[in-house]
Amino acid sequence: DAKTTQPPSMDCAEGRAANLPCNHSTISGNEYVYWYRQIHSQGPQYIIHGLKNNETNEMASLIITEDRKSSTLILPHATLRDTAVYYCIVRVAGSGYALNFGKGTSLLVTP
Amino acid sequence: DAGVTQSPTHLIKTRGQQVTLRCSPKSGHDTVSWYQQALGQGPQFIFQYYEEEERQRGNFPDRFSGHQFPNYSSELNVNALLLGDSALYLCASSLDGTIDEQYFGPGTRLTVT
């Protein structure tokens, strides 16, 4: 699996968009970008994943650059409940046995 | 609520003791994976069970062992506990041995003194 780089922490004001970046410059053509988050004292929660096209669901949007070397997770209207650690993971869909979590980005949403 | 349950919620043990943690997967799921999460770190893969067999193991010693029962529930056993085993232990369930849609439980917080 390709290695990912995320900033250790970010702040966002409540109601504003939170844009969480992830670098994955060694990503292979068949590797997807997955995002999970972990709210304090809970297990990780799947958010979204994509290959090369932008994706959107009820939780967030995923923007992947054309060269696929980086991506951004967008929470369009952040709430206090979005305060969590966000993990960007790159892997081949349908393969492997484990999710390789790094340290992620700790997002603090403030009132 | 993802439907994965773990017990107990918290546990305190002494060095050298043995511990057993339990996990019930989400309804309909047949694959269980275990992760260890030390404070301030991301979860680290311990092993995965599918069809009652260990399919893959991460970089963990043999002191860590597991079992999966016919009803797909699973146990994680850790022998000869070390202070460094203090962590949050997470169970995740999925379907058909894949991890594309993996649901995590709330974890068991183990403290070794």
Q: Is residue B62 exposed (0-12), middle (13-18) or buried (19+ Cβ within 10 Å)?
A: exposed
pLDDT for B2 equals 57
C-beta of residue B74 within 8 angstroms of C-beta of residue B60:
no
pLDDT for A2 equals 65
DSSP three-state, residue B25: coil
Mean per-residue pLDDT, B13-21: 98
Q: pLDDT: is B9 or B100 the higher one?
A: B9
Confidence of residue B92 (pLDDT cuts 50, 70, 90): very high
Q: What is the DSSP letter of A43?
A: -
User: Is the alpha carbon torsion for A107, A110, B2, B3 positive or negative?
Assistant: positive
Q: Which residues does chain B have within 8 Å of residue A106's beta carbon, measured at their own beta carbons?
A: none
Q: Which residues does chain A have within 8 Å of residue B92's beta carbon, measured at their own beta carbons?
A: 43-44
pLDDT for A94 equals 80
Identify any residues that bridge with B58 across adjacent strands, giving them in sequence order.
none
Q: Determine, for residues A99 and B43 on separate chains, whether the beta-carbon distance falls below 8 Å.
A: yes
Phi, psi of A16 (to 5 degrees): -90, 165
Which of A41, A46, A98 is the closest to B58 by Cβ? A98
Mean per-residue pLDDT, B42-49: 95
Q: What is the DSSP letter of B28?
A: T
Mean per-residue pLDDT, B8-32: 97
Confidence of residue B108 (pLDDT cuts 50, 70, 90): very high
- Whether chain B has a CB inside 8 Å of the CB on A21: the answer is no
Confidence of residue B100 (pLDDT cuts 50, 70, 90): confident
